[in-house]
Amino acid sequence: MIRNVTLEKLFVHPVVQKYVGRSGMAHAISVAEIAFDIATKTDVNPDLAAKGGLLHDIGHYKWYHPNGKWDYELYKDNDIHAIKGAARAHKLLVRCGENLQDAKAIALAVLLHTNSYLPQGQLQLTPLQKVVAEADEADEEPGGNHHYRKIDHETALQRIQKLDSNIDQFLRSNSLERTS
């Protein structure tokens, strides 16, 4: 195993099941897959990109109107899910044994995957941060519907395992290229 922490290790963790499950596991897995694809084409570490993709919405919570329904306006005005998510993802990654530099890089990609909560300005995103933000955007559906897409546990686990093996394969062949 090339990596300390696999996507599967993160996926089965109760914190991921709870919080990523809440914001939409199907969306999170698609974003992880897309981030992997973009990363492999843009010289970004696909392991970090896929982890950032899987965890990018881990800070979401529910903005309910008093009538019990999702309130988009309330959400738009008050949301800080990226801040909460960065801290939550970082704690989880460190506890799972992630390299500290990598945990920080992934947490920063989660923090900056959206700018909807930030004051107007120009952010200079790193390539990794761009990959996670682009992957998220690529999987978004109008009206926030991507958060409600369903996936069963078995299918989710299989896609996570497939992505893990793609990452391992990519990292292995790339390190071979570099040493030869």
List of residues contacting Fe ion (CB under 5 A):
57, 136
Q: Rounded CA gap, 137 and 114, in Å?
A: 9
Give min distance, CB of 27 to Fe ion, in A.
6
Nearer to Fe ion, 137 or 173 (CB): 137
Q: What tokens appear for 108 in the block?
A: 């920063």
Closest CA to 160 of 52, 28, 49: 28
Contacts of 79 (CB under 8 A, 6+ apart): 63, 116, 117
Give min distance, CB of 112 to Fe ion, in A.
13
Q: Rounded CA gap, 121 and 152, in Å?
A: 40
What residue number has its CB nearest to Fe ion?
A: 136
Nearer to Fe ion, 92 or 133 (CB): 133
Nearer to Fe ion, 136 or 164 (CB): 136
Nearer to Fe ion, 9 or 149 (CB): 149
Say how far residue 139 (Cα) sits from the centre of its chain: 12
Give min distance, CB of 57 to Fe ion, in A.
4
Decide: 27 and 57 in contact? Cβ < 8 Å: yes
Give min distance, CB of 149 to Fe ion, in A.
11
